[in-house]
Chains A and B, each alone.
Chain A
Amino acid sequence: MTTAPMELFAGTPRNARDHRVEWLVRTLLGMMTALLIVPVVIVLALLVVRGGSAISWEFLTTPPVDGMTAGGILPALVGTVWLVAVALVASVPVGVAAAVYLSEYAPDNWLTRSINLAIINLAGVPSIVHALFGVGAFVLFFRFGTSILAASLTLAVMTLPVVIVSTRESLQAVPRAFREACWNMGATRWQTIRRIVLPNAVSGILTGIILEVSRTSGETAPIMFTGAAFFLPFLPQGVLDQTMAMSLHLFVIATQVPDAPDALPFGVALVLISMVLAMNALSIGFRIYVRGRKKW
């Protein structure tokens, strides 16, 4: 708002009072926003200060020793990579297919509304309920046992909404005229999707996948009983092995290992949160870059 029109219209005392109220409200709301963000930033800074001393190359590349009171986090790091990778392999094709259906095929009927409601619920069901589902379905019913496969499939079901929603958004951002032009050339629906819609939406889909990686690597409850182990000194060899994971490792070190030195759990927390936030920042940065480059 420039000053000139305000002077023009701020003639009456009543107007002046309204503007004072507005200034007050604005300041108050701004302070409340700051109060929401600043404490968390301080806490994150504390994590860096107290955990920074634990972090070294050795910390990242050696397994824990002495009842997890010393040593590094290598098996947990590798385990998290395994879990995320297998979860992605399972959820990305299904999620992208679902998004293509919802964006390109689905008519506005009860089935589509049910699918949307199911997606909202899939995102809203508590993580521990997903864990129960993973135990009941993948560990017991499909007999995968407690394994990377069972844990990753549980994570895949849980994070499916992230892929679907972000992919659907980027598909819908492709202008309808692009599709119509392609149909008019005699292309089938699938040819249109593969040659026109997906290439134009691929960066948005990638953003969503990175976001899913970030989300998946931090989850704890769904993997506790489906495949993540408290302590395994060796690295997993295949998808039917159990594994350590960063998130569960933080929980275990913080609650089950009372004589661990103070810096150790802070170091684990710092590595975990750096991984998650770095992935998230990458996703946001990529999104801003893509938006800036958009041609239509």
Chain B
Amino acid sequence: MTRDALARSRDFDRRGAAWYMDRAVTLFVFVGGISAILFIVGIFAFIAREGFGFVFTEFDAGEFFGSIAWRPTSMIERTYGALALIVGTASITGLAMVVSIPFSLAAAVFIGEFARGRTRETLKVLVELLAAIPSVVWGFIGLSIMNPLIIDTFGVPIGLNVLNAGVILGLMAAPIMTTIAEDALKAVPDGYREAAEALGATRWQVIRKVVIPAARNGLVAAVLLGVGRGFGETMVVLMASGHAINLPDSVFDSVRALTATIAAELGETAVGSEHYQALFTLGILLFAVTFAINLTADVIVRGIRRKGR
């Protein structure tokens, strides 16, 4: 279009009510669109606002990451060693991943590649429903069903421990990982499978040699997102882990997690106190770690998309 024609078309452009409405809506949905960014920045800003008072005064990285003495209410000497909490979170998440990674990847391959028709639809719906069970119900299951079960089976005095929280968390994270992993398998073009089948490969050979290598990045992202879920889960670890500050020697030891510490102590602290700010500092740590995990997963997934083009 030449300059003249463009100018003439502008003359015809009667900016009526519809035009202004359109502009207004464009602005409205744009604000809605960037709201996600505003919220994520807002989350960091508000927890930093409450927590930085501690970070820049009392905070001692050596003590925070190196000491297990979390004594925020001590009369003699208050210390804020988060090592036991970090180890607690790591041990529960680690066990949960040992439980959930093999099972959810197996389930994803079975549902996505082997199951057909009605079986497949039923399994998908079941997995989706399992993913919907609220975390407080999982915590309650750990407390009231797993706890006596562990005591009876292993003859240990306390059933609220790494084993309990880890298994429950694993069961809880598995459906989510299964869904994401299955999506990754589904993203592999059917042409790949057909080409391999045409060469005489069996279904399993197709899966092992073609589908899984092609979906590898998506599967890694699924595992990472599962780790992020486990790491940030609150109610299960609060109710099923025993909530004792402890470096665990075995899965039968009670531990305490970062998230559970915030949930258990925030209600008892005065707003603005040192202890309160220390809990927000734990929040900053949690935010930073999950942000890093999600970012990594996103970069990995983006990697396959680019290669696929």
A-side residues, CB < 8 A to B, are: 9, 15, 18-19, 21-22, 25-26, 28-30, 32-33, 35-37, 39-40, 43, 46-47, 93-98, 100-102, 104-106, 111, 114-115, 117-122, 124-133, 135-137, 140-141, 157, 160-161, 164, 188-191, 193, 214-215, 217-221, 224-225, 247-248, 250-251, 254-255, 265-266, 269, 272-273, 276-277, 280-281, 284
Contact = CB atoms under 8 A, between A and B. Distances in A.
A280 B298 contact: no
A188 B20 CA distance: 10
A97 B28 contact: yes
17 contacts: A39-B171, A47-B137, A93-B32, A96-B32, A124-B232, A125-B40, A132-B47, A188-B22, A189-B26, A190-B26, A193-B25, A225-B266, A248-B136, A254-B140, A254-B239, A273-B137, A284-B129
The 10 tightest CB contacts between A and B, nearest first, are A97-B32, A218-B134, A126-B232, A101-B33, A136-B46, A32-B106, A101-B29, A188-B22, A29-B110, A118-B36
Interface residues of B, number: 88
Contacts of A30: 110, 114
Contacts of B107: 29, 32-33, 36
Contact of A133 (B46, B132, B139, B141): B46
B81 interface: no
B32 A140 contact: no
Given A19-B202, A22-B204, A128-B263, 6 more contacts: A26-B114, A121-B291, A122-B39, A136-B47, A188-B21, A276-B134
Nearest to B261: A128
B72 interface: no
Nearest to A44: B133
B262 to A, nearest CB: 5
B128 A117 contact: no
Contact of B134 (A104, A188, A220, A255): A220
B185 interface: no
A207 B171 CA distance: 26
A124 B290 contact: yes
Contacts of B136: 218, 220, 247-248, 250-251, 272
B239 A124 contact: no
Contacts of B90: none
A284 B128 CA distance: 9
B235 interface: yes
Contacts of A127: 135, 232-234
Chain B CB within 10 Å — which of A39, A94, A127, A220 has the most?
Answer: A220
Nearest to B266: A225
B228 A124 contact: yes
Nearest to B229: A124
A14 to B, nearest CB: 10
A125 B43 contact: yes
Contacts of A122: 36, 39-40, 43
Contact of B239 (A94, A137, A251): A251
B251 to A, nearest CB: 18
B103 A35 contact: yes
B114 A126 contact: no
Contact of B106 (A33, A43, A121, A219): A33
A105 B29 contact: yes
Interface stretch (B1-9, B57-65, B279-287): B279-287
A265 B204 CA distance: 46
Contacts of B126: 37
Interface in B139-171: 139-141, 143-145, 171
A157 B133 contact: no
B37 A115 contact: yes
Interface string B263-298: 100110001000000011001001100110111011
Interface of B: 18-19, 21-22, 25-26, 28-37, 39-40, 42-43, 46-47, 49-50, 102-104, 106-107, 109-111, 114, 123, 125-130, 132-137, 139-141, 143-145, 171, 174-175, 178, 200, 202-205, 225, 228-229, 231-235, 239, 259, 262-263, 266-267, 271, 279-280, 283, 286-287, 290-291, 293-295, 297-298
B42 A133 contact: yes
B33 A102 contact: yes
Nearest to B34: A115
Nearest to A1: B203
B21 A221 contact: no
A98 B140 CA distance: 36
Contacts of A280: 128-129, 132
B128 A29 contact: no
A128 B284 CA distance: 11
Given A29-B114, A36-B103, A132 B50 contact: yes
A187 B294 CA distance: 40
B40 to A, nearest CB: 4
A36 B35 contact: no
Nearest to B297: A120
A100 B49 CA distance: 33
Nearest to B46: A136
Contacts of A218: 132-137
A130 B141 CA distance: 24
Contacts of A105: 26, 29-30, 33
Nearest to B41: A118
Contacts of B293: 124
A279 B30 CA distance: 31
A206 to B, nearest CB: 17
A272 B134 contact: yes
